[in-house]
Structure 1
Amino acid sequence: MTTNTPTSPFAGRPVIALLAIAALMLAAANLRGGLVVVGPLVMEIRAALDISASAFSLLTTLPLICFGVMSICVPWFTRRWAPQWIAIVGLMVISLGVGLRLVDNYPLVIVGTLLLGSAIAVLNVLIPGLVKAFFPNSVGLMTGLYSVTLSLGAGLGVYLAIPLLEQFDNWRVPVAMWAIFPLFCLLFWLPMVRVKGVGRPANPVRISLWKDKIAWSITLYMGLQSFYFYSVATWLPKILIENGLDAHQAGTATALINLVSIPFNLIVPILAAKMTNQRVLVFGTFVVSFTGIVGLWWQPDAAPLLWASFIGMGCGSSLSLALSFFVLRANNTAQATALSAMAQSIGYLLAALGPVSLGLLRDINGHWQWALLLMLALQFGQVAAGWSAARAINVVPDQDRTSA
């Protein structure tokens, strides 16, 4: 791991440090809410736009593709503009994207979805690097807080949707909240542009990690854990309903995944930052994730809340570990951003295949057994990638490698 830890730009300045923490956490809270809020409002939105179920599905699948495509562009942005300004513009584009999803015009809604997904992709990659730049001595704690806020933002997006719909009798109200919230966050980000030592590098250099084995291990770990999460989030309710549970029970089990993951979002990065290597955490995450899927495969109706709890532990731990690797395996902010871009670009493209692959296996076989067996098999790939990524070895940019 890094041997010379730089000093925080907020050393001796507690007020601006608290402002920076608030800025990072508020940005994190915006990275899922505007996406997931449409899920509970599917019937109202389809009726307003007069679209089919497949047309509506683009509102949830296109952002994942944007994550994969746009993530790789972030290092290019950071070589030209200060990351604080990129974050500010990203929040403004999130607001615009969500705003366009309020109109009664499906093509404009698609444009808004593309803008929303692209802006979120940029901030997904940017924030781990800013965590390392702002708080180099507290990367474990800050990564944990970031991961928790990410999950809370997603949870609020889902849980507030129906109460706000019922309160105002208008589906646009819960969606509009996620167009206004990013603009409020700008109040905390504008002071960040004056933070010294975190702006655009004087002599920006393109950092490539495509030849680094550790970078590829982290990328594969990120991709497989995302594949796992988005597959489960998409199909768990249907799996449980087809095995005899009612919609309420299935919804409770699915909601439990996010709830259970929150303490692991916080604890795992703190533990990871204190360890020489993180193999114990990688293996523990594998055990709980594997157990949850085995339970679904073996007898899903026997203990659905228990299986969902195991899955939630695994999802929270694996996401937090992946985010921690971005910071712990990089020597500086530029490397952390390049590593985050590489891992998230490929990782989210892989994640986009998850729900489609499982749904296809379900349609071919008429049951979920083969789909769940695929999930179990991929868990072995994930633990192998994590085992390699957990070694106390930092990434080495391609341009720093000496030819044999």
Structure 2
Amino acid sequence: MLLALVMVSINLRPAITTVAGVMNQVPGVFGLDPALLPLLGTLPVLAFGISGPIGPRLARRLGTGRAVAVALMVLAAALIVRATVPALLLPGTFLAGMAIMTASVLVPQIVKANRGTGWWTGLCTMGFGLGAALGAGLVQPLERAFGGNLPSALAVWAVPALLGAFLIHRSGGRTTPVPAAAGTAGQVPGTASPLRKQRTAWAVTAFFGLQAMLYFAITSWLAVYLVSRGLLPSDAAALLAWFSLAGLPASLLAPVLAARPRILRIMAPGLGMSVALALVGVLVAPVELQFLMVGILGFVQSAGFGLAMALVVIRSAGPQSAGRLSAMSQGFGFALASLGPLGAGLLHTMTGGWEVTFWVLAAEAVVLAGAGFLAIRGPLVSVEPAEVSLQTQAKPSPVR
């Protein structure tokens, strides 16, 4: 199951970073109006925000594993269609985003159902980063391997998506039913408030959305920014891949460390401030130091994503609540995140430079620190009476 989950996670970023790594080539190869490039970077994230509820609903009908497998097969089809039919580049990218979101929201639910530790969440989040790095780093070598054919270099990513669908389907991936709240001697049925009325759920959603907005703004425009600083397009694409690779250790360790309350109290707000400082560093550092600064930014940004995924698991009372919180945090969060690539691109166009864009992103990272502070406080998120009842029973009775 863990192997299948990691393989699924690896497939949930290349559809975005492969295009980001060759953004400057897209207008010439696909005949896309350069003015639509910000839209191309925004579409998958916008699809994330719209398709959040699809995953849990599909899981209730098919089972979690089958739902993820179906999503990956749709992803594979979207990758092929958008690469081979230039007129469908934008619709295919949107469909790929919907498929990615459908699978993504179910990963924490499967982890929670299998009682996965922080290492499970860490390995899955590391899979996201590894997939992003492979997508950005291999797109140009694959293009050369296919004789300069960029569409083939983009379409080939359908193969690992199909492999991930096969593995998760074979592993099962069905969540364990929550034991009934009634019918057990001495058990008092619990009650659960609607998710929209739980402050912890909104705090986790804000944290997820803000870190995702930063991530997609950075991955969409970092290579373009570096080219404007004088780097060759191939070197800029390599640094974009380095951005993801440098974050792999952080995405693995952040969920593990987050399981320790003392560390979590510092980590949740501290990561936002670290991202703000790293963004300023990339802006002001000379070209010779960009390898170091991009690596630092990739490390702290990936730690933020690892913590966001961990919060969905840690701050939920059971598998069903984890699935619902995952859908809410990623659905609303990615709807917010869709403003990242578009806003960054528009700020660059309006100002003619990158200074304002980077300072605005740094200010957003400070707000992220505040969201992290709030996300680790308050009661656990629960939408199932059974989970509330079981949670209550697990607590020792107060001394009278």
Q: Is the structural similarity TM-score above 0.5?
A: yes
- C-alpha distance in 1 between matches for 2:225 and 2:86: 33
CA contact (8 A) 1:69 1:345 kept: yes
Q: Could you report, residue by residue, the CA deviation over 1:68-103 in whole angstroms, capped at 9, with x for unpaired residues?
A: 000133333333331112112111111111121232
Partner SS for 1:210 = helix
Aligned-residue offset at 1:194: 8.2
Counterparts of 1:192-341 in structure 2 under 5 Å?
A: 192-193=171-172, 197=176, 208-243=194-229, 247=233, 250-275=236-261, 278-299=264-285, 301=287, 303-341=289-327
- C-alpha distance in 1 between matches for 2:150 and 2:235: 25
Structure 1 match to 2:329: 343
Partner SS for 2:61 = coil
Q: Structure 2 vs 1, CA of residues 207 and 158 (structure 1 numbering), >3 Å: closer, same or farther?
A: farther
Aligned-residue offset at 1:54: 3.5
Structure 1 match to 2:153: 174
Instruction: Give the alignment partner of residue 52 of structure 2, picking from 71, 76, 88.
Output: 71
Q: Could you report, residue by residue, the CA deviation over 1:15-64 in whole angstroms, capped at 9, with x for unpaired residues?
A: xxxxx112111111111123322334556654453332234554432111
Q: Structure 2 vs 1, CA of residues 110 and 206 (structure 1 numbering), >3 Å: closer, same or farther?
A: farther
Q: Structure 2 vs 1, CA of residues 278 and 294 (structure 1 numbering), >3 Å: closer, same or farther?
A: same
The amino acid across from 1:161 in the alignment is V
Structure 1 match to 2:359: 373
Structure 1 match to 2:87: 106
Aligned-residue offset at 1:367: 3.3
TM-score by length of 1: 0.83
Q: Structure 2 vs 1, CA of residues 168 and 250 (structure 1 numbering), >3 Å: closer, same or farther?
A: closer
Q: Does 1:133 align with 2:113?
A: yes
CA contact (8 A) 1:278 1:391 kept: no
Aligned-residue offset at 1:324: 0.1
CA contact (8 A) 1:88 1:186 kept: yes
Partner SS for 2:20 = coil
- C-alpha distance in 1 between matches for 2:325 and 2:272: 23
CA contact (8 A) 1:139 1:327 kept: no
Farther-moved stretch of structure 1 (331-340 vs 300-309): 300-309
Instruction: Give the alignment partner of residue 39 of structure 1, picking from 7, 20, 43.
Output: 20
Instruction: Give the alignment partner of residue 185 of structure 1, picking from 137, 157, 164.
Output: 164
Q: Structure 2 vs 1, CA of residues 246 and 341 (structure 1 numbering), >3 Å: closer, same or farther?
A: same
The amino acid across from 2:117 in the alignment is V
- C-alpha distance in 1 between matches for 2:173 and 2:227: 53
Q: Could you report, residue by residue, the CA deviation over 1:126-150 in whole angstroms, capped at 9, with x for unpaired residues?
A: 111111112x1x3300111001111
Structure 1 match to 2:188: none
Q: Could you report, residue by residue, the CA deviation over 1:233-268 in whole angstroms, capped at 9, with x for unpaired residues?
A: 233344444455565664454333212111001111
Number of residue pairs the alignment of both structures matches: 377
Structure 1 match to 2:98: 118
Q: Structure 2 vs 1, CA of residues 57 and 393 (structure 1 numbering), >3 Å: closer, same or farther?
A: same
Q: Does 1:88 align with 2:69?
A: yes
The amino acid across from 2:20 in the alignment is G
CA contact (8 A) 1:212 1:398 kept: no
Query: Unpaired runs of 5+ in structure 2?
Result: 181-190, 389-400
- C-alpha distance in 2 between matches for 1:74 and 1:194: 13
- C-alpha distance in 1 between matches for 2:237 and 2:111: 34
- C-alpha distance in 2 between matches for 1:194 and 1:214: 27
CA contact (8 A) 1:36 1:157 kept: yes
Farther-moved stretch of structure 1 (316-325 vs 181-190): 181-190
